[in-house]
Amino acid sequence: MKVGLVCPYSFDAPGGVQFHIRDLADRLIEQGHPTSVLAPAEEDTEVPEYLESVGGAVPVRYNGSVARLAFGPVVASRTGRWLAAGDFDVLHIHEPFAPSVGLIALRLAEVPVVATFHSAQERSRALQLAYPLVRPGLERISARIAVSEDARRTVVEHLGGDAVVIPNGVNTRTFAAATRNPEWVGAPDAPTIAFLGRLDEPRKGLPVLLGAVERIRARHPGARFLIAGRGDLDGALAGLGEHAQAVQGLGGISDEEKAALLASVDVYVAPQTGGESFGIVLVEAMSAGTTVVASDLSAFRRVLDNGGSGFLFSTGNSDSLAATVCRALEDVDERDARRRYARTAVARFDWDEVSTRILDVYAMVHESAGDAHAGDGRRRGMLGRLFGGGRT
């Protein structure tokens, strides 16, 4: 099956959606399905050979963050040429209603479209205002995928219809086999605690973690905090005083370094305050065998099986975070029990499982499109019941 994947966000500064699309493309190609990706990217950005760029992107505030999106007549022209040359069996558009290349591809598509929704928002004024404009696009979508129940709820509440939940994929074996970095490995009297995320994005929760540093060090004076991500760390450390010496900034790190970091540290902390629909880094940390401490957002609760695979603390509460990290460090039996559970639980997020489920969706919409031409209403009706509304 020939597949076209469309990413609305730029590969100049890749995040979770871009990595998901890249890994999906890699897995599809490995399994013998010719795959091409369309996405924004500057000319000097290093991208996979199967990625076709529509050009540079501009920063736009979207979904509680600043996303780099691409739109305009040049993007539309390049998208049209890519679609014509691709001759795809299925077009898979991620976040199809973001004001970017995916929305353009949706309007131009002449093959079955699968749409994946990644974001979770309790209220989206942008979607409410844009609904009259995007409604025609809903009819072009043959099947909808949501990466979590939270993302599915957003689809149901804002767009109507339904979506099948297929989680983000993780190369779990890569993290399980990662080589530990001695510089990041902790000791009983000097545990290491890691954070990954954009330092200047408030919802990633770095201030919540830094607010817990003093309390954690009061019980574990040798604790070290390893902070990985782009942004200004010095400004964030201004209020820590003498405790700032326990915080080490790693800057932006590669995929290999991320796997090594998660395999090396004693605790990975996810202090996000909102806007999370899944929590892929939690699965990566679980796969690497580290102990996870996360805010009790509903998306994180689901990934961690309500605490079966890790420890949860009250969202946005530095005191709760500090107490939970100390509990994870001190209760060895409980920590090890959750790590063992996590090692098994991550299987449902492995790309072997996730890609199989996505391919099942592709096969169904492709077959349904053929049946539609043959006038098979029964098959189309089944697809509509499974995925809710849209063109079936």
Whole-number pLDDT of residue 120: 78
CATH topology for the 172-347 domain: Rossmann fold (3.40.50)
> 36 pairs with which residues across the strands?
4
In contact, 247 and 237? CB cutoff 8 Å: yes
Q: What are phi and psi of 116, to 5 degrees?
A: -110, 130
- Identify the H or E element spanning 3: strand 3-6
Whole-number pLDDT of residue 371: 64
Q: What are phi and psi of 224, to 5 degrees?
A: -120, 145
C-alpha torsion 167→171→177→183, nearest 10: -80
In contact, 130 and 98? CB cutoff 8 Å: no
Look up residue 331 and give its DSSP letter: -
Whole-angstrom distance, CA of residue 313 vs CA of residue 311: 7
Report how far apart, in Å, the C-alpha atoms of 89 and of each of 4, 193, 247 are: 8, 46, 50
Whole-number pLDDT of residue 388: 42
In contact, 374 and 380? CB cutoff 8 Å: no
Whole-number pLDDT of residue 60: 74
Chain centroid to Cα 248, Å, comes to: 25
pLDDT tens, the chain, 392 aa long: 999 999 999 999 888 899 999 999 999 999 999 999 999 999 999 999 999 999 988 877 665 567 778 888 999 999 999 999 999 999 999 999 888 899 999 999 999 999 999 987 655 555 555 556 566 778 889 999 999 998 999 888 888 889 999 999 999 999 999 999 999 999 999 999 999 998 988 899 999 999 999 999 999 999 999 999 988 898 889 889 999 999 999 999 999 999 999 999 999 999 999 888 889 999 999 999 999 999 999 999 999 999 999 999 999 999 999 999 999 999 999 999 999 999 999 999 999 999 999 999 999 999 888 665 545 444 444 444 444 443 33
DSSP per residue over 6-44, as a string? E-SS-TTS--HHHHHHHHHHHHHHHTT--EEEEE---TT
Q: What angle do CA 154, 389, 143 make, to 5 degrees?
A: 80
Say which residue the tokens 């890609």 belong to: 355
- Identify the H or E element spanning 91: strand 90-94
CATH 3.40.640.10 is right for the domain spanning 3-169+350-387: no
The reply to whether 3-169+350-387 and 172-347 are identical in fold is: yes
| Nearest alpha carbon to residue 98 among 117, 73, 113, 83 | 117
| Nearest alpha carbon to residue 143 among 159, 164, 118, 169 | 164
Whole-number pLDDT of residue 376: 47
Q: Tell me the domain boundaries of the chain.
A: 3-169+350-387, 172-347
Q: What angle do CA 83, 88, 91 make, to 5 degrees?
A: 80
Length reported for the chain: 392
**Longest CA pairwise span in the chain (Å):** 73
In contact, 17 and 9? CB cutoff 8 Å: yes
Strand duo 113-117 + 90-94: pairing: parallel
- Tell me the three state secondary structure of residue 269: strand
Residue 275's region, left for phi above 0, alpha for psi from -120 to 50, else beta, is left
Which two tokens mark 195? Answer: 């954070």
Whole-angstrom distance, CA of residue 37 vs CA of residue 19: 12
